[in-house]
C-alpha cells in the first residue's frame, strides 16, 4: 500500500448509510446473522422495556404525563440531532476517504499493519467500518488499548456515534470492570485484559477481528500479545489481525508479522513552531505553570495541553493555577482547568472533551495518556517539560520502581504534533535544543526490557508456553530478567523444580493481581481466613485513595483514621477494619463522611472484593473467616510475601531450626541469615529496624522509613521486623501498608525448611553466595 494518494472519495456514500441505518437499535432489520437471533429479539425487548418504564411512570404520576411526553420527545430529537451531527463529524476524519480501500485490504490480507497519526480515526472508526462490513456477524471485534482511560473513553465515544447504550453493542473491559454484555460486538479493552482472555479461550474463538491498537507504545502486555496473536493467526485463517500504530516506523511490525502489508493513512498535520528554553529549567512544574499563564495572556485563542508525569503533580499544578488565576481576577479571560489521568473518576473525564466556551481558554493537564491514546480537539499550544513516569527494573536486585525519566525524541515529537491537528500550532519545550539533540534517546525502550516479568511468566506458563527463552518476542527481554522471574515464581511455590506450573501457581494465575497478593490469597486457605484476606487484597488494590484529609480538618481526619489502628494491629488489619465497619453500616455513604473515608474508593473495593470472591470459588478455596484470630490473618499476609530461596543456596542448618522451634522463636541472627540469602531472601518486602526509627530493607540494602500514615509509625517501641506492601519515594523512601513480622511465625509459615535436610545430606551445605541457581529454568 502506497501513501494513500487521492483515490478516496470514489465510494458509494449510500453503502455506508445503509449499513449504518440497519444498525440502529430497535429496528427490526438489525442484521446480526442467523446465529444471533436472540440479539435482534432482544433489541425489541430493549425498546419495549423503555416503554414499560414510561407507562409505569405515567401511572404513578398521573397528570405529569404530558410534560414527560414533551420532554421525552425533546430529548429524542436532541439525541437524533447529536447522532446526525456525529455522523457528519465521522465523515470529516482523515481516515474516512480510505474506508473502502481499507476494507478491501482487510479482506485481502489476514494481517495488516495500519499507520496513521493520532486523531486520524483509527481507534474509533476502524472497528465501526469492520462492523458495517459484516465482520461482527461471525464474531466480536476486539480492540486493545494500553490504557484503561482510553479504553473507556473511546468505547463511550463509539457507542455515542452508533447511537447505542454503552455496554450493549459497544462495550469495554478493563481490570475489575466489565462493561459488556452478550450483545457486545465491538469490545474495547486493555491489552492486559485480552491477555487474560487467552487463559479462558486460547484460540480467541469468540473474535473475528483483533485490533492491537497503539502498538507503538510497546507496553509489556502488547508485546506479549504480538507473540500470542501471531501464533493464533497461524491456525485460525479466518481471524483478521490489525496492528495499528501512530508512528511511522511500521517496518519493524511488518517484519515481525511475516512481511504483512502496511496501510498508511495520510495525516493532516499543520506546521508546528517549536520553542526551546535558553537554559535548562530547575523546576519544570513551575516553568510549565508560568508558560501556561503567559500563553493565556499573550497568545491568540486556542487550548493548551500540558504534559505532566502523574496524578499528584497534576493536582499540584491545578491548585497553583487556580490560585494564580484567582489572584489575577477579571484582568484575564476565564481559564478552564481540566486534569486527565488514569484514576480520574469517569464523570470528570468527560469534561476534557467538552467544547471550550466562547471567550474562555481550556488548559488540559495530562499524563502521557494525551500523547497518542486520547485526542482532545482544539489544542493549539503544547507545553512539554520533557519528562514522564516510567517503570524501571533492576533484574539483579529484583527491585522495581516508577521513576520520573526524560522522554525520548519520538515522544517529544508526538507531543509537539498534538498542537498541529486543526491548524498551525506551537510547542514549548521546557528544555534546551541541545538537550533535545544530544541527551534524549531516539526511542523509548519497550517496557518488556525494563520491567519485572513475574506476572508475564506466570501467565505464559498457564497458557502452556514452557520454553520462554525461545518465545517469539519482537524484542526479547534480558534473559537475566526472565531467569529472575522464573526463580521468583519457583520461590513462591508457583513453579516446581522443572519449571512446571504447580497447583499453587495455577491458582495464583487466576487472580489479576500482583503475584504477592495472589500468593497471599492462596495462602489464606491454610490459615482459614480467605474472607479477610480477599478484603485486604481488594483494599490494597485501590491504592492510596482510601482516606482523605481536608486541609481544615486534618486533626479530625487523623483521629478518625487512628481508630482503625487501635491495638497497633498494623496497616493491613486496619484496612480490614475499615472495610468491615463500612459493611456493618450497610455500605453507607454517611459512615464514609464521618470517618473521612472516600466512598468512591470503598465502592470500588467492594466491587473488586466481589470479583475476588468469585475467583475463590474457581480455584476451590473455601470462604472461611477467622476474624477473632488476627494472628492467623497476619500469618497469611506474611506467607504471601514469603519467597523460598533456591533450595541449594540456603545454608541454615536443620538442627538450628529444630532448636529454634523448640524455644518457639528463631534467634535474630538466623532470621538475618534467612533474609540475606542470595536468591533475594525469604521476604523481599521486609525491613529491619535500625537506629533513629529507620529501617533497612533486606533485599537491596537501603534505608527506608515508616510512612507517616502508617499506624505503626506512632508505636513505642517500634517493631523489629516489618513487611510492607510498597515503597514510595517522596521526601524520603517510605514503606506504605506495613505489618509487624514476628520471627516465631517463620518456622510455621515456611515448612519447606524441613525439606532442607535432604539438601544438606547431599552435601550442598555452604554453597557460596550467588552460585546456587534453582532448576526452575
Ligand atoms: O485512534 P486515532 O488517534 O487515530 O483517532 P481516534 O481516537 O479514533 O479519534 C478520532 C476523533 O474522534 C478525534 O478527532 C476526536 O475528536 C474524536 N474523539 C472524541 O471526541 N472523544 C473520544 N473519547 C475519542 C475520540
Ligand atoms: Mg487511537
Residue pair 746/674 in contact (Cβ under 8 Å)? The answer is yes
- CA distances to 17, 116, 245, 451 from 262, rounded to whole Å, are 28, 11, 11, 30
Q: What is the C-alpha separation between 385 and 368, in angstroms, rounded?
A: 12
Bond prior to 355 in cis (omega within 30° of 0): no
End-to-end CA distance of the chain: 44
Q: What is the C-alpha separation between 323 and 509, in angstroms, rounded?
A: 48
Question: What DSSP element (H or E) covers 522?
Answer: helix 515-524
User: Smallest Cα–Cα separation from 75: which of 85, 67, 87?
Assistant: 67
Supply 541's cell numbers. Answer: 488494590
The reported pLDDT for the residue numbered 776 is: 31
The reported pLDDT for the residue numbered 102 is: 97
Supply 597's cell numbers. Answer: 473515608
- Could you tell me which residues are beta bridge partners of residue 388? 405
| Main-chain phi, psi angles of 596, to 5 degrees | 55, 45
Mean pLDDT by 10 residues, the chain (777 residues): 33 29 26 31 30 31 47 69 89 95 97 93 97 96 93 94 96 92 96 92 96 93 95 95 87 94 88 92 92 93 94 90 86 89 75 85 92 86 93 64 85 92 92 94 88 86 84 89 79 79 89 85 91 94 82 88 91 95 95 92 90 90 90 86 43 38 38 41 70 76 85 86 78 84 67 37 34 33
Contacts of 49 (CB under 8 A, 6+ apart): none
Query: How far does Cα 296 stand from its chain's mean position?
Result: 33
157 lines ligand 1 (CB under 6 A): yes
Q: Which ligand is nearest to the CA of 93?
A: 1
Q: Count of CB atoms within 10 A of residue 122's CB?
A: 26
Contacts of 52 (CB under 8 A, 6+ apart): none
What ipTM does this complex have?
Answer: 0.98
DSSP state of 143: E
Q: Which ligand is nearest to the CA of 95?
A: 1
120 lines ligand 1 (CB under 6 A): yes
The reported pLDDT for the residue numbered 181 is: 96
DSSP state of 432: -
Supply 429's cell numbers. Answer: 519545550
Helices (H), 353-406: 369-372
The reported pLDDT for the residue numbered 751 is: 52
160 lines ligand 1 (CB under 6 A): no
Give the HSE-up count for residue 169: Cα atoms under 13 Å, Cβ half-sphere.
28
For ligand 1, mutation pick of 98, 121, 152, 350 (most atoms within 8 Å of CB) = 121
Report the nearest-CA residue for atom 15 of ligand 1: 375
The reported pLDDT for the residue numbered 664 is: 36
Q: In what order do the strands lie in the sheet with 262-265?
A: 177-179, 170-174, 186-190, 140-145, 207-212, 240-245, 111-116, 262-265
The reported pLDDT for the residue numbered 682 is: 52
Q: What is the C-alpha separation between 744 and 660, in angstroms, rounded?
A: 8
159 lines ligand 1 (CB under 6 A): no
User: Smallest Cα–Cα separation from 286: which of 235, 323, 333, 329?
Assistant: 323
Report the nearest-CA residue for atom 19 of ligand 1: 157
Q: What is the C-alpha separation between 731 and 712, in angstroms, rounded?
A: 19
245 lines ligand 1 (CB under 6 A): no
426 lines ligand 1 (CB under 6 A): no
Q: What is the C-alpha separation between 608 and 603, in angstroms, rounded?
A: 9
Torsion sign across C-alpha atoms 73, 74, 77, 83? negative
Residue pair 169/184 in contact (Cβ under 8 Å)? The answer is yes
| Main-chain phi, psi angles of 740, to 5 degrees | -70, 145
Decide: residue 259, CB within 10 A, 0-12 exposed, 13-18 middle, 19+ buried. Answer: exposed
| Main-chain phi, psi angles of 362, to 5 degrees | -105, 140
What is the tens place of the pLDDT at every residue in 121-142? 999 999 999 999 999 999 999 9
The reported pLDDT for the residue numbered 734 is: 85
- CA distances to 35, 497, 544 from 551, rounded to whole Å, are 59, 54, 17
244 lines ligand 1 (CB under 6 A): no
Q: What is the pTM of this model?
A: 0.74
Task: Tell how far the Cα of 353 is from the centroid of ligand 2, in angstroms.
Answer: 15
Contacts of 269 (CB under 8 A, 6+ apart): 117, 417, 420, 421
The reported pLDDT for the residue numbered 60 is: 35
Q: What is the C-alpha separation between 92 and 87, in angstroms, rounded?
A: 9
Q: What is the C-alpha separation between 90 and 83, in angstroms, rounded?
A: 10
Task: Please report how the helices 515-524 and 454-462 are oriented relative to each other, as an axis angle in degrees rounded to 10.
Answer: 60
Q: What is the C-alpha separation between 477 and 482, in angstroms, rounded?
A: 7
Q: What is the C-alpha separation between 74 and 70, in angstroms, rounded?
A: 6
Q: What is the C-alpha separation between 118 and 419, in angstroms, rounded?
A: 11
For ligand 1, mutation pick of 157, 247, 263, 374 (most atoms within 8 Å of CB) = 157
Task: Tell how far the Cα of 306 is from the centroid of ligand 1, in angstroms.
Answer: 19
Name the pairing type of β-strands 262-265 and 111-116: parallel
Residue pair 636/531 in contact (Cβ under 8 Å)? The answer is no
Amino acid at each position: 500500500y502506497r501513501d494513500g494518494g487521492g483515490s478516496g472519495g470514489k465510494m458509494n456514500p449510500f453503502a455506508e448509510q445503509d449499513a449504518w441505518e440497519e444498525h440502529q437499535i430497535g429496528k427490526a432489520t438489525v442484521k446480526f446473522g442467523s446465529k444471533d437471533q436472540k440479539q435482534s429479539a432482544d433489541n425489541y425487548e430493549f425498546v419495549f422495556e423503555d416503554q414499560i418504564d414510561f407507562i409505569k411512570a405515567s401511572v404513578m404520576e398521573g397528570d405529569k404525563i404530558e410534560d414527560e411526553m414533551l420532554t421525552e420527545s425533546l430529548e429524542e430529537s436532541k439525541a437524533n440531532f447529536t447522532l446526525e451531527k456525529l455522523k457528519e463529524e465521522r465523515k470529516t476524519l482523515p481516515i474516512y476517504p480510505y474506508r473502502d480501500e481499507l476494507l478491501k485490504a482487510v479482506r485481502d490480507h489476514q494481517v495488516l499493519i495500519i499507520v496513521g497519526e493520532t486523531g486520524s480515526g483509527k481507534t474509533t472508526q476502524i472497528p465501526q467500518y469492520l462492523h458495517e462490513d459484516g465482520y461482527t456477524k461471525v464474531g466480536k471485534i476486539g480492540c486493545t488499548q494500553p490504557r484503561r482511560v482510553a479504553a473507556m473513553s473511546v468505547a463511550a465515544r463509539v457507542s455515542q456515534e452508533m447511537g447505542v447504550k454503552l455496554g450493549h453493542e459497544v462495550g469495554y473491559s478493563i481490570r475489575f470492570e466489565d462493561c459488556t454484555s452478550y450483545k457486545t460486538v465491538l469490545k474495547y479493552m486493555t491489552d492486559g485484559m485480552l491477555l487474560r482472555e487467552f487463559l479462558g479461550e486460547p484460540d480467541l474463538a469468540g473474535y473475528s477481528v483483533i485490533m492491537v491498537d497503539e502498538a507503538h507504545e510497546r507496553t509489556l502486555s502488547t508485546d506479549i500479545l504480538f507473540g500470542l496473536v501471531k501464533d493464533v493467526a497461524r491456525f485460525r485463517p479466518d481471524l483478521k489481525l490489525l496492528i495499528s500504530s501512530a508512528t511511522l516506523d511500521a517496518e519493524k511490525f511488518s517484519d515481525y508479522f511475516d512481511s504483512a502489508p502496511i496501510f498508511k493513512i495520510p495525516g493532516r498535520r499543520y506546521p508546528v513552531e517549536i520553542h526551546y528554553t535558553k537554559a535548562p529549567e530547575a523546576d519544570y512544574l513551575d516553568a510549565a505553570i508560568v508558560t501556561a499563564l503567559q500563553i493565556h495572556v499573550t497568545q491568540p485563542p486556542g487550548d493548551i495541553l500540558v504534559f505532566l508525569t502523574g496524578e499528584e503533580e497534576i493536582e499540584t499544578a491545578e491548585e497553583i493555577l487556580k490560585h494564580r488565576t484567582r489572584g489575577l481576577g477579571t484582568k484575564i479571560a476565564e481559564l478552564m482547568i481540566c486534569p486527565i489521568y488514569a484514576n480520574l473518576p469517569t464523570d470528570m473525564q468527560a469534561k476534557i472533551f467538552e467544547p471550550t466556551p466562547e471567550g474562555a481558554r481550556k488548559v488540559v493537564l495530562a499524563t502521557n495518556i494525551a500523547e497518542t491514546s486520547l485526542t482532545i480537539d482544539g489544542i493549539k499550544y503544547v507545553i512539554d517539560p520533557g519528562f514522564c513516569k516510567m517503570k524501571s527494573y533492576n533484574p539483579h536486585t529484583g527491585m522495581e520502581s516508577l521513576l520520573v525519566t526524560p522522554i525520548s525524541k519520538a515522544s517529544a515529537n508526538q507531543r509537539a504534533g498534538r498542537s498541529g491537528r486543526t491548524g498551525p500550532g506551537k510547542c514549548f519545550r521546557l528544555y534546551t535544543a541541545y538537550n533535545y539533540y544530544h541527551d534524549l534517546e531516539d526511542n523509548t525502550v519497550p517496557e518488556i526490557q525494563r520491567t519485572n516479568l513475574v506476572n508475564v511468566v506466570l501467565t505464559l506458563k498457564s497458557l502452556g508456553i514452557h520454553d520462554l527463552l525461545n518465545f517469539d518476542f519482537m524484542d526479547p527481554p534480558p534473559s537475566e530478567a526472565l531467569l529472575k522471574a522464573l526463580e521468583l515464581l519457583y520461590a513462591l511455590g508457583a513453579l516446581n523444580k522443572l519449571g512446571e506450573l504447580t497447583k499453587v501457581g495455577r491458582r495464583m494465575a487466576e487472580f489479576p493481581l500482583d503475584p504477592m497478593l495472589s500468593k497471599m490469597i492462596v495462602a489464606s486457605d491454610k490459615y482459614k481466613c480467605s474472607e479477610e484476606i480477599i478484603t485486604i487484597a481488594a483494599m490494597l488494590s485501590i491504592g492510596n485513595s482510601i482516606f482523605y484529609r481536608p486541609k481544615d480538618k486534618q486533626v479530625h481526619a487523623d483521629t478518625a483514621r487512628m481508630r482503625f489502628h487501635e491495638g497497633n494491629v498494623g496497616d493491613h488489619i486496619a484496612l480490614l477494619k475499615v472495610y468491615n465497619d463500612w459493611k456493618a453500616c450497610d455500605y453507607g455513604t454517611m459512615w464514609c463522611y464521618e470517618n473521612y473515608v472516600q466512598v468512591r474508593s470503598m465502592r470500588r473495593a467492594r466491587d473488586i472484593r466481589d470479583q475476588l470472591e468469585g475467583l475463590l470459588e474457581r480455584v476451590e478455596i473455601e470462604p472461611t473467616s477467622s476474624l477473632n484470630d488476627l494472628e492467623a490473618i497476619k500469618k497469611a499476609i506474611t506467607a504471601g510475601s514469603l519467597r523460598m530461596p533456591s533450595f541449594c543456596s540456603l545454608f541454615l542448618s536443620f538442627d538450628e531450626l529444630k532448636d529454634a522451634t523448640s524455644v518457639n522463636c528463631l534467634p535474630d541472627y538466623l532470621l538475618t541469615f534467612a533474609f540475606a540469602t542470595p536468591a533475594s531472601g525469604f521476604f523481599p518486602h521486609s525491613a529491619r529496624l535500625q537506629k533513629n526509627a529507620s529501617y533497612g530493607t533486606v533485599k537491596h540494602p537501603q534505608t527506608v522509613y515508616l510512612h507517616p500514615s502508617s499506624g505503626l509509625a506512632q508505636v513505642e517501641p517500634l517493631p523489629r521486623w516489618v513487611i510492607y506492601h510498597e515503597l514510595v519515594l517522596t521526601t524520603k523512601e517510605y514503606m506504605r501498608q506495613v505489618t509487624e513480622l514476628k520471627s516465631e511465625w517463620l518456622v510455621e509459615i515456611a515448612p519447606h525448611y524441613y525439606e532442607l535436610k535432604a539438601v544438606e545430606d547431599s552435601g550442598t551445605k555452604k554453597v557460596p553466595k550467588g552460585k546456587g541457581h534453582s532448576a526452575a529454568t
